Amino acid sequence: MKLRVSGTQTTKQKFSSTLRGWLPILQANLDNLMETLEPFVQENPFITVTSGSEVVEKKFEKKNFFQEASKTSVSGTIEALTLDKKSLFQTLHEQINPPLFPTEKSQRIAYEIIENINAEGYFEADALHEIAQKLHVKSEEVEKIQQRFAYLEPLGVGALDLKETFLFQLQELSLEETLYENVEKLILNFESIESFNKEPLFHESLSVIKHFRNPPAIDFMEETKEVIPDIFIYPVDEGIEVRLNDAYYPEVMIDTEGLDENHSFVSQKIKEAKDLVDALEMRKATLYKIGLMIIEYQYDFFFGKAIKPMKLKDLADDLGRNPSTISRAIAGKYLSCSRGIIPLKQFFATALEEDISNSAIKEYMLELVKYENKIKPLSDLKLLECIETKFNIKMVRRTITKYRQQFNIASSSERKKLYTLTY
């Protein structure tokens, strides 16, 4: 394997208290990096930041510390340029407050849960134990906090699966007791819902269920902006080229013309401005090295193979970083390659066995369903048997059911009905 390093890549290897102090810059996505820099710009009269976005060609205005503040603030500039609604994750973050999350501990757990909610609004169950280990709490505590998401907007967000998101949404409805119980009964027996068609209030209950959001974050999915990848992977004759999305990086300019740089206030602000430049460069350096390590671990993936097991700690050890820092660095960030735009977190698949990842299991399951007998579709139990035989591992059926639901694949009985309608 040969990696070709892009000439635009920084050579900085610095990691010190500077980066820890500017951690929000590392954690920010490219599309909100300018907004993250706003507080630094407001507090420093010698900084001008130009947006690297190809869409927004605007400059932050300097804040004059020696005259009355300008009527047009940076926030106002951003607000005027931003027409999009708040993202799902912004909406959830704003709700992590007392009384629902009264302690710092409950809020930390809630924020970690949000990091593991996918674009459809479902909580990725595989992350439950990882969150517990990361925060040194019991898994039961994470589950307890996850259940409180039933009271957040959008209704049903943070649920583990279709049934739970419907139950979350049901809790918020004011229904007559008998109707409520019937709706709950249908949800809990969703796989065999047709067998209840002679039950009292069946049609009324089904009408209630039809009004539930599925997936729970569907309103946000319709408004989703185009994803801006941080890393590009290009296959070339010599191997693979890794390149950062430099075009979207803000440019920080320090203006000290005519100033006495020995003055304590001026020298302090110049130092802070240089730290900001260093922080942006260190963000680039960290993400670039993450891109290189992903290629080293997942080289075959970029040529059509499945993702291999890769632990966050392995990457952190190789980079000489704290796992929590790397976790922040990859959260909400994407890699663009010939196979599409992929969340960086997807490369850190949970290993089922030493050489098998859950991603490989899922890919094989999708292949089985794609080529299954349309007259007799594969049940979850049969899918389980095929997977256990293929990979020589032991699993439980509910795991296969969970994987199937993650891809919005209907049950075997429902697929048989769909095939009948189609063919």
146/277 same-domain check: no
273/306 same-domain check: yes
Q: What is the mean pLDDT of residues 64-80?
A: 33
Q: What is the mean pLDDT of residues 265-294?
A: 86
Assign 22 a pLDDT band (cuts: 50, 70, 90).
Answer: low
> Which segments of 327-366 are extended strands (E)?
334-337, 340-343, 351-353, 356-357
**Domain termination site, one of 319, 346, 373:** 346
Q: Is 81 within 8 Å of 58 (Cβ atoms)?
A: yes
125/232 same-domain check: no
Residue 165, both tokens: 């998101």
331-365 pLDDT per residue, tens? 888 898 887 888 887 787 555 554 566 777 888 89
89/220 same-domain check: yes
260/326 same-domain check: yes
Q: What is the mean pLDDT of residues 33-39?
A: 81
Residue 79, pLDDT score:
36
98 in a domain, yes or no?
yes
Residue 232, pLDDT score:
92
Integer Cα distance of 129 and 124 in angstroms: 11
**Which amino acid would we find at residue 332?**
G
Q: Looking at per-residue confidence, does 201 or 319 come out higher?
A: 201
Residue 330, pLDDT score:
84
| Residue 320 confidence (pLDDT) above 90 | no
Query: What percent of the chain is modeled with pLDDT above 70?
Result: 82
72 in a domain, yes or no?
no
Question: Which of these ranges, 49-63, 266-280, 297-311, has the smallest mean pLDDT?
Answer: 49-63
218/91 same-domain check: yes
Assign 286 a pLDDT band (cuts: 50, 70, 90).
Answer: confident
98/215 same-domain check: yes
Query: What percent of the chain is modeled with pLDDT above 90?
Result: 19
Q: Looking at per-residue confidence, does 302 or 310 come out higher?
A: 302
**Which amino acid would we find at residue 86?**
K
193/95 same-domain check: yes
260/166 same-domain check: no
Residue 60, pLDDT score:
34
105/209 same-domain check: yes
Residue 279, pLDDT score:
84
The reported pTM is 0.47
203/190 same-domain check: yes
168 in a domain, yes or no?
yes
DSSP string, 207-274: HHHHTS-SSTTHHHHTTPPPP--SEEEEEETTEEEEEE-GGGS-EEEE--TT--TTSHHHHHHHHHHH
Residue 141, pLDDT score:
95
125 in a domain, yes or no?
yes
106 in a domain, yes or no?
yes
CATH of the domain at 381: 1.10.10
**Domain termination site, one of 224, 240, 270:** 224
Q: Which domain holds residue 250?
A: 3-31+227-346
Residue 76, pLDDT score:
35
The count of domains in the chain is 3
195/299 same-domain check: no
